[in-house]
Structure formats: C-alpha cells, structure tokens
Amino acid sequence: MSRFWSDVTRRLTPYVPGEQPRHERLIKLNTNESPYPPSPAVVAAVQQIESDALRRYPDPESARLRQAFADYHGLHPDQVFLGNGSDEVLAHVFQGLLQQQRPLLFPDITYSFYPVWCELYGIRYERVPLGADFSIDTSAFARPNGGIIVPNPNAPTGLLLSLAQIRALVAANPDSVVVIDEAYIDFGGESAITLINDFDNLLVVQTLSKSRALAGLRVGVAFGQAALIDGLQRVKNSFNSYPLDAVAQAAVLASLADEDWFRECCDRVIASRERLTRGLEALGFSVLPSAANFILASPGNDRDTGALFLALREQGIIVRYFDKPRIAGYLRITVGTDAQCDALLDALPALL
Ligand SMILES: *Cc1c(COP(=O)(O)O)cnc(C)c1O
C-alpha cells in the first residue's frame, strides 16, 4: 500500500494466475497449456522475422491476420477483433460492451477473472447458480440484465452447452450482448461463430493459448457483427494501438495455415482426456464430463483435497486447486501427454 495509490487501485483484488514454476522438472498440469508444441511452421515463421519488422511498428490493425481469421471462419475482416491474449480482448469487452445500467450475468462457478474486470470497471454483476451437477440452465439467465458472459465449455467445470442452447440464450436476450468465451471449444464443442451473421448481440471470444499451443505469444480474438467489433476497436485504439507485435502476427498466420497439426494435437488431447478420466475413475475419483483440455475431479467427500494438492506438489506434479465454495473438493487437472497423465495416476494411490 502506498499513499500514491488511487482509490480504484486500493480497492482492487487482482486475478491470480496459476503458478509458472522457474525450475523445469515439474509435471505441469495447472494452467491448461498444450502439452504439444505449436506447428513447426510457427517456429519457422518466428525465426524468419526480419530485423526491419522489429525496427518498425507493427501493423496496428493486424490486417493480414484479421483477413486470415475471416477466411478461416467464413466471415468478413470487420467481424474480427484481435488483442494481446483473450484476457485483453475480454477486458475491452467488459469496458466497451458490458458496462451497462443493468447487471452483467455470469455463472456462479466460472472463470474467476470476470468479477475482477467488473471491479476494475465498476460493473454491477449477478452470479447465476449452476445446477447441483454444475450444469448451466440457460433459462436461469432469463432476468433483467445488461449483458451475459458464459465460457463454453465452462471453466473450471469443463461442461459443454450445445449450439442449440447457445442459440436459445442469444435469441432470448436480444437487447443485451451475450459473450461466449470459447477458450476451450476446440476440444470437443461446436463454436457459436456460425451464428454471428444471425445475431447482432453475439460476441464469440477465442484464444490461441490453449488449442494452438501459443500461450507464450499472447493472442486472443473476438468475432461478432461489425458494429460490435467497431466498438471494441474504439476501446483498443484508446488504450494501445499495437496490441499484437510483429512476431505474434507472423506466428499466428503460420498457425492458421497448418490445419493438420492443429487437428492432430486436439485429437490427441481428447484421447488422453478420456484415458485420464477412466484412470481416475478406477482410483475412485468422480470426474465431471469435460469437453475441454482439463478435467475437474473429486477424490471423494471425506478426503482433504487441499492436502492432496500439496502432496502432489511435493511429488513434482502441479495441478490447480480452488479453495472456493462448491469446488473445494475438486482438483482441476490439465490433460497432459499420456506419459504425464500416467505419472499422475501412478503417484495418486500412495497419496490417497
Ligand atoms: C485461458 C482462458 C482465457 C485467457 O486466455 P489468454 O488468451 O491466454 O489470455 C480466457 N478465458 C478462459 C475461460 C480461459 O480459460
């Protein structure tokens, strides 16, 4: 605390990301990174960056990249917005679109950055309770609101809403923006990007950090009709004209061009997820059905899950533990390679 802090700064409770350990021997299953490298074409593109591209400012509009995303999804470039990680994209969305008279709605168990942005921007919000099985009942969002944000699949539960459910949610709230945070959609869900041209109140946010193995590059993207995207551009151009550096723009272009690599890595993660789920169930865990690259798993009510988290840490395996209502009995485990998942499954019996 300093006497120079503004009132806003004093009041903040910042988001705490998962640990990024300095030493490398750990099996890292805590922040939902890909266990596989990005496409070799991405690494080649980064290595081929010319000195001039570093000397100059990058294209502030990332025009080639917006065009590439538009082509990839059958949209127009003015329906694509890019930012320095989807966390930055979401921050602009909260300020530019979700700061309204009526409260913002999101599930009571969800991405814990949402209330942090609400605090930062002074946005009123209400948490909509999930069902006892953590399912999202979209009809529970039928109350006055100034916006809705839902991750699909939800985090940290991994539960997926169908495209029909998303469509119904967007259609039922024509006067507020409905944001679908699709950070994990590539691991088994159906993207709502296909609904963009049907609804002027739908915004879909994705990240290159998980399924495209580019968390270190910091690129996020939003898709919506041009008027929504234009609002985000106004915020972005009042904050940082150059959110994507030259390296990131070149690397992501290469990533989008290597569809085979992308699909192959997603398929492998999906197969490992099913294998890990069965392995944990065989050890007595209950595991929520996940459509993401992580699972939420409980060793059982009578066990101290916080202690299990620490014991795994001692063994060099880090997962995520949220000491919060309803999910304190669960571990969130990122799906690693089969070898990493086996190391976890092998370590558990002695700790249970
Ligand atoms: C990981 C994650 C993000 C942020 O991703 P970045 O693009 O790395 O900032 C956003 N939303 C959810 C639900 C996430 O899990």
Beta strand segments in the chain, E: 27-28, 80-83, 104-107, 125-128, 147-151, 178-181, 202-207, 220-224, 286-287, 294-298, 317-318, 331-334
Tokens 């917005």 sit at which residue?
A: 81
DSSP secondary structure, 236-277, as one string: HTTT-S--S-HHHHHHHHHHHH-HHHHHHHHHHHHHHHHHHH
Residue 7: inside a domain, yes or no? no
User: In testing the pocket of ligand 1, which one of 34, 81, 86, 244 has its CB within 8 Å of the most ligand atoms?
Assistant: 86
Tokens 């591209």 sit at which residue?
A: 53
User: In testing the pocket of ligand 1, which one of 111, 159, 218 has its CB within 8 Å of the most ligand atoms?
Assistant: 111
Residue 239 has a CB neighbour count (10 Å cut-off) of 14
pLDDT of residue 19: 82
Q: Is the domain of 246 the same as that of 301?
A: no
Contact, 155 vs 15, CB < 8 A?
no
User: Which residue's alpha carbon is nearest to atom 11 within ligand 1?
Assistant: 183
pLDDT of residue 238: 98
Atom in ligand 1 nearest the alpha carbon of residue 209: 8
Question: Which residues of the chain have a pLDDT value below 50?
Answer: none
Q: Is the domain of 248 the same as that of 287?
A: no
Q: Is the domain of 187 the same as that of 329?
A: no
Q: Is the domain of 289 the same as that of 336?
A: yes
Give the domain-ending residue among 211, 231, 257.
Answer: 257
Q: How far is the CA of 129 from the centre of ligand 1 (A)?
A: 22
52-95 confidence digits (pLDDT tens): 999 999 999 999 999 999 999 999 999 999 999 999 999 999 99
Residue 11: inside a domain, yes or no? no
Q: Is the domain of 156 the same as that of 270?
A: no
Cα distances (angstroms) measured from residue 90 to each of 115, 203, 257: 12, 10, 25
Give the domain-ending residue among 257, 290, 320.
Answer: 257
Cα distances (angstroms) measured from residue 326 to each of 292, 298, 329, 331: 20, 11, 7, 12
Q: Is the domain of 22 the same as that of 122?
A: no
Residue 12: inside a domain, yes or no? no
Q: Is the domain of 225 the same as that of 300?
A: no
Contact, 148 vs 104, CB < 8 A?
yes
User: In testing the pocket of ligand 1, which one of 31, 32, 84, 87 has its CB within 8 Å of the most ligand atoms?
Assistant: 87
| Angle between the N-to-C axes of helices 226-236 and 86-96, in degrees from 0 to 180, rounded to the nearest 10 | 100
Instruction: Tell me the residue range of the domain where 61 lies.
Output: 40-257
Q: How far is the CA of 70 from the centre of ligand 1 (A)?
A: 21
CA–CA gap between residue 210 and residue 273 (Å, rounded): 14
Residue 1: inside a domain, yes or no? no
Q: How far is the CA of 149 from the centre of ligand 1 (A)?
A: 13
CA–CA gap between residue 278 and residue 33 (Å, rounded): 21
Give the domain-ending residue among 234, 257, 280.
Answer: 257
174-195 confidence digits (pLDDT tens): 999 999 999 999 999 999 999 9
Q: Is the domain of 161 the same as that of 197?
A: yes
CA–CA gap between residue 292 and residue 295 (Å, rounded): 7
pLDDT of residue 25: 83
What is the distance of C-alpha 332 from the center of its chain?
Answer: 14
pLDDT of residue 301: 72
Q: How far is the CA of 350 from the centre of ligand 1 (A)?
A: 33
Q: Is the domain of 147 the same as that of 283?
A: no
User: Which residue's alpha carbon is nearest to atom 12 within ligand 1?
Assistant: 183
Number of domains in the chain: 2
Three-state secondary structure call for residue 6: coil
Residue 284: inside a domain, yes or no? yes
Whether cis (ω within 30° of 0) applies to the bond prior to 35 is no
User: In testing the pocket of ligand 1, which one of 31, 210, 219, 332 has its CB within 8 Å of the most ligand atoms?
Assistant: 210
Nearest residue to 168 via CA among 131, 195, 203, 187: 195
Atom in ligand 1 nearest the alpha carbon of residue 110: 13
Q: How far is the CA of 34 from the centre of ligand 1 (A)?
A: 13
Q: Is the domain of 199 the same as that of 324?
A: no
Residue 135: inside a domain, yes or no? yes
- CATH number of the domain to which 69 belongs: 3.40.640.10
Q: Is the domain of 244 the same as that of 276?
A: no
Show the ligand 1 pocket: residues with CB < 6 angstroms. 85-87, 111, 151, 155, 181, 183, 207, 209, 215, 220
- CATH number of the domain to which 282 belongs: 3.90.1150.10
DSSP secondary structure, 189-236, as one string: ---GGGGGGG-TTEEEEEESSSTTS-TTT--EEEEE-HHHHHHHHHHH
Tokens 């400012």 sit at which residue?
A: 57
Q: How far is the CA of 47 from the centre of ligand 1 (A)?
A: 26
Number of H helices, E strands in the chain: 12, 12
Q: Is the domain of 118 the same as that of 250?
A: yes
